[in-house]
Amino acid sequence: MKDVDHKELDRLLQQAFEVASELYQQRGFQRRVGFGKRPALVSVDLANAWTRPGNPFTCDQDKMDNEIIPGMQKLLSACRANGHPVIHVTTAYEITDRNASFTDMGLWHNKIPVDVVNLADKDLWAIDSRIAPIEGEYTLLKKRASSFHGTELAGILRANNVDTILVTGVTACACVRQTICDGIADGFRTIAVKEAIGDRVPGAVAWNLFDIDAKFGDVHTVDECVDYLNTVNGAAAAAE
């Protein structure tokens, strides 16, 4: 990966996006879902196994340290100042013996090393201390890519009258994408927070955010989302 010319890759991807945008727009794609009146922040897998070096799941550390974590800190600050719900999502498994006759890993361990994220080692699946949950925030443990699949997430959001989810985390090509896809299918306005989403592979974030923006949610910058979080209460009250 060190030999990849990231600037050239970005240039080629941008060319592809421009061509794809013309096709999408001609066919009625790239519509806007928009911000709603009651947001929640859903942070996907920003736990140590993904955010720190030395794990098979480790993501791009430069982006993690210089964009994703600082972006999350801004979003958390805005949510906490304005009373918006925050759900931290992580992943771990209790029966990680690949030869066991029964396991909570499904068959996913036959494709990727989910067996390394053992529930017994809390440090692996604990949310990164730089963005650690505070009292009143919820930590959700999932077993699948989507934060909605087989979890209580949709019920919690609906019980708290949430209509908009701001989704951050890793990885763009899997858990973040699947969470956004299921989120809009379940009736939530889905917002992907551009600088707060990462991956392991060069180009994966840019391509997935482009495709998400065309089909499954709106992509907005951290600053745009922070402005929304800081003003939505007043805007919602004025509209009622």
| pLDDT for position 18 | 82
| Confidence at residue 67, expressed as pLDDT on a 0 to 100 scale | 98
Q: Which residues are catalytic?
A: 175
Let me know: does 162 contact 39? Beta carbons within 8 Å.
Answer: yes
Instruction: Answer for the pair 172, 147: CB distance below 8 angstroms, yes or no.
Output: no
* Sheet hosting strand 86-91, strand order edge to edge: 138-142, 86-91, 39-44, 164-170, 189-198, 218-220
Specify the pLDDT at position 236.
Answer: 54
| Tokens representing residue 53 in the block | 């070096």
Low pLDDT (below 70) residues in the chain: 1-4, 234-240
Question: Most distant CA pair in the chain: distance in Å?
Answer: 59
Distance CA 199, CA 217 (A): 18
- CA 33 – CA 192 distance, rounded (Å): 11
Question: What local confidence, expressed as pLDDT, does residue 235 receive?
Answer: 56
Q: What is the pLDDT of residue 240?
A: 54
What would the pLDDT profile of 91-103 be if each residue is shown by its tens digit?
999 999 999 999 9
Q: Give, for 142, the enclosing helix (H) or strand (E).
A: strand 138-142
The pLDDT assigned to 10 comes to 76
In this prediction, residue 131 carries a pLDDT of 98
Mention every residue, 6+ apart, whose C-beta is less than 8 A from residue 39. Answer: 84, 162, 163, 164, 165, 166, 191, 228, 229, 232
pLDDT in the model for residue 59 = 98
